[in-house]
């Protein structure tokens, strides 16, 4: 009876172990990719509405009573850009922050595994013992790996599955080194200690780079808001005086005789030019800020969304409209 039970357990192990290395479900797109596709589709619709507004085919405006034309067209262009940049930027950045928190505790886990290995434990046993510690968000992934090892999954397979759940260059490099060291034999504990030290050094260098780049990101934000303040001063003080001066000259004897003329009818067009400039600066400066800070385009989209929302709100609801 006991031999039959052992035989069935062995068969179950042989059946389970290969299946743990492959997914039973069809691989699906990552969440951030799905969000990007949906946002792109929504943005395309909003861009189409913007084009129809500019052409005069429709009269859909954000501010009631404004009518069609370039102003509502630019509003829908901004909304389209927000639909493309915003959801993807925030979702992808949240995923990257979670992965970064997992990576931050990786050196601690490697050191604990190395300490357990110095007491004569094999690598799978050392991982199982170390899984009882607390490593923040990394704890859940380690417990999954320990459970797989307890079920008889080879350590190389368990490490590969861990790398697939946390697909970053740092984790991939660590898993590759540990797997090869375990296959080569010898003192794996010393290898783990060196890997933990190198991983911490890489993280510290990345943090130092972010601190040094934070100054440039701050300068980008300050320059953008100074640009908005300059537009406000021009629209609230300088350009209205120019319109009044032009009207005064046109109704005076100098204007009627043609001796002096001042073209002021083009001044409202400057508001459209200012709005276009704000959109271009918000998207460009935001993406540059994210890439400078940590080299990630997703964070750049997040910064671009913040700048675009702020700039559009100030231009549409704070800066006084220019009219002749």
pLDDT tens digits for range 165-206:
887 778 888 888 888 888 877 677 888 888 888 888 888 888
Q: Which pair of tokens denotes residue 28?
A: 């699906």
| 218-244 burial: b if 16+ Cβ within 10 Å, else e | eebbeebeebbeebbebbeeebeebbe
Q: Which pair of tokens denotes residue 14?
A: 């042989």
Residue 151: CB atoms within 10 Å: 13
Compute the CA torsion angle 216, 91, 175, 26 (nearest 10 deg): -150
Provide the pLDDT for residue 103.
84
Instruction: Name residues whose C-beta falls within 8 Å of residue 316's C-beta, 6 or more positions apart in sequence.
Output: 62, 63, 75
Provide the pLDDT for residue 4.
43
- DSSP, residue by residue, 231-281: HHHIIIIIHHHHHHHHHHHHHSHHHHHTSS----TTHHHHHHHHHHHHHHH
For residues 202 and 187, what is the distance between their CA atoms, to the nearest angstrom?
Answer: 23
> What global pTM score does this model have?
0.76
CB 248 within 8 A of CB 307: no
Q: Where are the domains of the chain?
A: 30-103, 106-186, 205-249+263-317
CB 298 within 8 A of CB 290: yes
Phi-psi region of 265 (alpha: psi -120 to 50; beta: other; left: phi over 0): alpha
Instruction: Name residues whose C-beta falls within 8 Å of residue 18's C-beta, 6 or more positions apart in sequence.
Output: none
| Residue 263, phi then psi, degrees to nearest 5 | -80, 110
Compute the CA torsion angle 215, 219, 225, 230 (nearest 10 deg): 160
Provide the pLDDT for residue 183.
81
pLDDT tens digits for range 244-286:
766 665 555 544 444 444 455 666 677 888 889 999 999 999 9
Provide the pLDDT for residue 259.
42
Q: Which pair of tokens denotes residue 140?
A: 């859940």
pLDDT lower than 50: segments of the chain: 1-26, 254-262
Provide the pLDDT for residue 254.
46
């Amino acid at each position: 009876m006991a031999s039959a039970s052992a035989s069935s357990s062995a068969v179950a192990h042989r059946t389970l172990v290969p299946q743990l290395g492959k997914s039973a479900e069809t691989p699906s797109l990552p969440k951030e990719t799905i969000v990007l596709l949906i946002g792109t589709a929504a943005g395309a619709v909003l861009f189409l509405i913007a084009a129809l507004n500019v052409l005069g085919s429709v009269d859909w405006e954000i501010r009631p009573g404004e009518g069609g034309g370039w102003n509502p067209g630019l509003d829908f262009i901004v909304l389209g850009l927000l639909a493309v940049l915003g959801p993807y930027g925030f979702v992808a950045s949240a995923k990257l922050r979670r992965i970064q928190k997992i990576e931050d505790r990786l050196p601690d886990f490697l050191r604990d595994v190395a300490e357990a290995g110095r007491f004569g434990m094999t690598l799978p046993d050392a991982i199982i013992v170390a899984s009882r510690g607390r490593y923040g968000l990394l704890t859940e992934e380690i417990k999954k790996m320990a459970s797989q090892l307890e079920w008889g999954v080879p350590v190389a397979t368990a490490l590969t599955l861990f790398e697939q759940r946390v697909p970053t260059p740092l984790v991939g490099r660590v898993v590759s080194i540990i797997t090869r060291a375990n296959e080569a034999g010898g003192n794996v504990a010393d290898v783990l200690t060196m890997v933990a030290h190198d991983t911490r050094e890489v993280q510290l260098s990345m943090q130092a780079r972010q601190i040094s780049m934070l100054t440039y990101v701050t300068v980008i934000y300050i320059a953008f808001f100074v640009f908005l303040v300059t537009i406000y001063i021009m629209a609230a003080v300088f350009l209205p005086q120019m319109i009044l001066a032009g009207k005064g000259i046109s109704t005076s004897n100098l204007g009627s005789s043609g001796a002096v003329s001042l073209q002021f009818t083009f001044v409202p067009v400057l508001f459209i030019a200012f709005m276009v400039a704000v959109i271009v600066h918000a998207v460009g400066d935001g993406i540059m800020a994210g890439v400078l800070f940590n080299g990630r385009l997703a964070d750049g989209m997040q910064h671009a969304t913040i700048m675009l929302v702020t700039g559009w709100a100030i231009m549409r609801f704070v800066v006084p409209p220019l009219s002749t």
